[in-house]
Structure 1
Amino acid sequence: MNNPHETLPADRQRFLKEHLMSEIAAAETKATRSRRGPVWLVAPLAVGALAAVTLVVPGRHHDGASTPASSATATPAPSTSTTPSVTPAPEPTDAMGLLGRAAKAAASHTAPVARSSQFVYRREIRDGARQSKSERKSWISVDGRSEGLILDATMGDGRTPWPAILSDAPGAPKTAGFGTPTYEFVSQLPTDPQRLLQQVLTADRSNTVAGISMTPKLRNQIAFGDIQMIFQNISAPPAVAGALMEAAAKIPGTSVVADETDATGRHGVAVVGTNGTLRVSLIFDPTTGAFLGVREVLLSDLPPAGPDGLPPTGNPSPGAGNGKGYDYASAILTSAIVDRAEVEPTD
């Protein structure tokens, strides 16, 4: 079970240790962590990502003018108007096309105003093999320096203060980065997918992986895990969210699937990668670009990866996830920026 007061670096070290042990032993490691807690910390979502989007599809346009009738005759002159025809762009049906449309829709929203003193609020449904389906509400500091709050009946007495991500305490992280992200940090990331991909792949990992050989495979998995953490736990402004979706799909070892479901059964397009001992699907609404949630399956419950090394796309083995077919899933229901912890949005 995750300890809500566990520091982020320790959690990152646990992930890296799992990966390293699996590499050395050349065998899959059965994940034992409880799904009662999030991947790293409870996740808010970009406010704009939940708004509906009207897609502009080219249609028919009628323009031109009619010649006025001559005063010498009651018969109007023939119309000279023309009706140019524009063929509507076809709706994408392939996985990459759906993801591209979702990314463009996500980036089209207006960015919310988020002050450093505010909090990102999230209400979500969480379900997993080791817990019953439950609702969680969370408030996480925008700048990472204020204590947040989690309301979750599956955790202790249901009310858990969440420590600040950044702190001036000895040994605590003092600046934000991919290892310790905040909403403020994420809001400053590039909105060009290729630039963003290069930044996440070349980020300094020396403090995170000290003493561990950084192989290309491990670097790619850490990069995917960083993007997962932002969507699942931190949130991103709309333009950054769109770029993150496309950057995640460009990471070597990831794939895109056209149909995946969140914890409430909503369908979406997903970027799929591996994070330690898990196959992870980041699920997005194909029309609005909203981040719907995640679905995680133990690699040991899946067919082996193919020669290309991509995440296995087969179904979980019978009985996987205590009969649920997955180890953990979530569904984001509400997300907003609010002034104080325990204050919920009014609309």
Structure 2
Amino acid sequence: MHDIDELRELRDFDPGTAPLDDATRHRARARLLAAMDRPVARVRPRRPMLRIALTASLAAAVSAGVLVAVRDDGGTRTHPTARPPVAGTPTLQNASARTVLAKAAAYQRSHEKQVAPRDDQYIYSKEIIKETEQGTGTTKTYVDEDWRSVDNSKSSWVMEIGKGWWSPPLKKNEGVWPTQDWTRLSKLPTDPDKLLRAMRDPFDRTPDYSQPIKADDWWMIDFSLEGLLYRVPVMPAGLRAAAYEALGKIPGVRATPGVRDARGRVGIGITYSDKGRPSLGTMIFDPDTYAFLGFRNTRTSGDGKDKKTYIQLSYLDSWAVVDRVKVRPAAGG
């Protein structure tokens, strides 16, 4: 399995761009897909994120920019030219993966903690990351703690493999995916079929649910859903379960038994592949309860003889809603 060390980012668009017609939207999508194979030298965090300056729609933004692949060390990396995923209905996808994700959704619904944070609060999360360098077998453990503004109106504190920094609020006409804005999350559909359609353009706040999903939509849907599941620790009721069910309907999603998580537990791995683009990573579920255990990803640094490959195993240790940034919740809170 080949994992993406760094995911894709959309940025630097002209906020005055006018809305597009259907033909231009189609051309923009084609450019977006082709741009994924262009090497770009730029340092960015490992977290899966799309960032754009919003205009009237996602397509308007896409028309002015490209989707790029980046790495921790600023080096470039190319990927195979993407071929369209298997066209057709969800019945073509791996049945066992759908079963695992459906049971994971059921577990989530029965164990979900209802929360309703205020706009002036923060979502605190503590993530444990175990990273093993493949050449030496050396393992390091990192503890990443984030305090994210609920409505993104204030600066947030975020960490990446042990390093932290202040993340400023988004500027006017700017958006980021996956979003942490609770109001925006609350407006996403909890019907899995509608959520699939909404994830074709995650910045579109008024998606057309009547339009069928096309073969070249699936990669973006998977990227949007996995980013949501990976980087948003707390969601409104029903959204995470719907995301699991939606993911199970994507052609190319596969289930693999015997995958170990960061704590050494053996689970079932869920991975997406479209026969041309490397997977974003693997989600791991308990084989008995179908509770979510964590993620498995791959990261590289350096080039040539200095290139190193790391296997990352991570899990969410705890989370809470807090009133102030960089103040940890009380024990048991």
TM > 0.5: yes
Matches within 5 A, 1:308-347: 322=308, 326=311, 328-346=312-330, 347=332
CA 1:23–1:147 in 2, change beyond 3 Å: closer, same or farther? closer
Q: 2:127 aligned with 1:118, yes or no? A: no
Q: Helix, strand or coil: the match of 1:198?
A: helix
Residue deviations 1:284-334 (CA, integer Å, cap 9, x gap): 445666543321248xxxxxxxxxxxxxxxxxxxxxx9575x3x3321111
Residues 157 and 167 of structure 2 are in contact (CA less than 8 Å); yes or no, is this contact kept in structure 1? Answer: yes
Change over 3 Å in CA distance of 1:203–1:112 after alignment to 2? closer
1:132 paired to 2:146? no
Counterpart of 1:97, as a letter, is T
Counting only pairs closer than 5 Å after superposition, residues 1-347 of structure 1 correspond to structure 2 as 9-10=10-11, 20=34, 37-40=46-49, 95-108=97-110, 109-128=112-131, 132-150=140-158, 154-155=162-163, 159-164=164-169, 166-168=170-172, 172-173=173-174, 180=179, 182-201=181-200, 218-235=216-233, 236-274=235-273, 277-285=278-286, 290-297=291-298, 322=308, 326=311, 328-346=312-330, 347=332
Query: C-alpha distance in 2, partners of 1:33/1:132?
Result: 25
Contact in 2 for aligned 1:99/1:286 (Cα 8 Å)? no
- Residue in 2 that maps onto 1:75: none
Q: Which structure 1 residue ranges, 5 or more long, are not aligned?
A: 1-6, 42-93, 206-214, 299-320
1:118 and 1:337 in contact (8 A); partners too = yes
Query: Which protein is bigger by CA-based radius of gyration?
Result: 1
* 1:9 CA drift (Å): 3.3
SS for the counterpart of 2:10 is helix
C-alpha spacing 1:256/1:145, structure 2 compared with 1 (3 Å): farther
TM-score (norm 1): 0.56
The answer as to whether partners of 1:145 and 1:167 remain within 8 angstroms in 2 is no
Matched AA of 1:167: K
3-state DSSP class of the match of 2:199?
A: helix
Structure 2 residue runs of 5 or longer lacking an equivalent are 1-7, 14-29, 51-95, 134-138, 205-212, 300-306
User: Alpha-carbon deviation of 1:251?
Assistant: 1.8
Per-residue CA shift, 1:126-163, capped at 9, x if unaligned? 244678331111111121222111356742xxx41122
Mapped contact 1:177–1:185 kept (Cα < 8 A)? no
Cα 1:21/1:199, change in 2 over 3 Å: closer
Identity %: 25
CA-to-partner distance for each residue in 1:55-85, whole Å, 9 max, x for gaps?
A: xxxxxxxxxxxxxxxxxxxxxxxxxxxxxxx
Q: State the one-letter code of the partner of 1:338.
A: V
Whether the 8 Å contact between 2:223 and 2:280 is mirrored in structure 1 is no
Shift of 1:338: 1.6
Q: Distance in 2 between matches of 1:119 and 1:345?
A: 11
Look up the equivalent residue of 1:265 and give its one-letter code: G
* Letter paired with 1:100: A
Q: In structure 2, how many angstroms separate the alpha carbons of the residues matched to 1:286 and 1:184? A: 34
CA deviation digits over 1:221-244, x for unaligned, max 9? 221111122122223234111010
Superposed displacement of residue 112, structure 1: 0.9
Gap change, CA 1:336 and 1:257, over 3 Å in 2 = farther
SS at match of 2:246: helix
Given that 1:119 and 1:340 are in contact with CA atoms closer than 8 Å, whether structure 2 keeps it comes out as yes
The CA deviation at 1:261 is 3.0
Quick one: distance in 1 between partners of 2:132 and 2:44? 8
Residue 181 and residue 253 in structure 1: after superposition, are their counterparts in 2 closer, same or farther (change >3 A)?
Answer: farther
Amino acid at match of 1:344: R
CA distance in 1 between counterparts of 2:226 and 2:288 reads 20
Q: TM-score, normalised by structure 2?
A: 0.58
